[in-house]
A = this chain, B = another copy of it.
Amino acid sequence: MDTPASADREGISRIERLCIDRGLKMTGQRRLIARVLSDSADHPDVEELYRRAHARDSHISIATVYRTVRLLEEKGILERRDFGGGRARYEPTEHGHHHHLIDVDTGKVIEFADERHEALAKEIAARLGFELVDHRLELFGRRFPEAKPAAPAPRRGGRARNGRDQA
C-alpha cells in the first residue's frame, strides 16, 4: 500500500501542515483544498482545482477555492503563475528558485533550475543599477523530433488572451 503524498494514513497533508503552522483556521473545505494541492504535481488553475476538489466533496463552491488560493498565496504557501491563457495557475512554494518550460503544443509545464542562470540574472540586474528582488524565466519549446498535429486556434469569446495559449 502506498500512501498518497497528501496524507500519511488518514492524517494531515503537507499543505495542511503549513496552514496549521501559520495559524489558519482549518475548515473542511480548506483541508480538502490543501489535500488536493498536496496531491497535485502540476500547475492547476482555479477551475481545475475546483474540479478536483468538487470530485471529492461536491459541497464546495468555486468562490471558496478562489478565496483559499488567495489566502494561501498571501501566507506564502502557494505561488501564483501566469503562463498565458488568461487564468492564473498555482503551485506550492517550496523547491528552491526554479523556472518553467512550456510545451507549446501540449501546454504541459516542465520545471527546471539552473545555477548559471541565477548568477547571470543577478549580474544583469546589477549592471543596470538594480538589486534583484525576483525574476522569472519562461521557455517555450517544442519537443525535438516530431510533426505537431496542427492544433486548432481556440479564440474563445470574452477576455482571456495572452502571449501563448495554454493546454
Contact = CB atoms under 8 A, between A and B. Distances in A.
Interface of A: 70, 80-82, 84, 88, 101, 103-104, 110, 112, 114, 116-117, 120-121, 124-125, 128-144, 161-164
Contact of A139 (B116, B124, B138, B140): B124
Given A112-B124, A117-B124, A139 B144 contact: no
How many copies, total? 2
B141 A132 contact: yes
A124 B121 CA distance: 15
A122 B143 CA distance: 13
Nearest to A164: B134
Contacts of A117: 117, 120, 124
B128 A110 contact: yes
A128 B110 CA distance: 9
A130 B139 contact: yes
A167 to B, nearest CB: 15
A136 B137 contact: yes
Given A80-B162, A125-B141, A132-B141, 17 more contacts: A70-B161, A80-B161, A81-B163, A101-B130, A104-B133, A104-B134, A112-B124, A114-B120, A114-B124, A117-B117, A120-B120, A130-B141, A130-B142, A132-B140, A135-B137, A137-B137, A137-B138
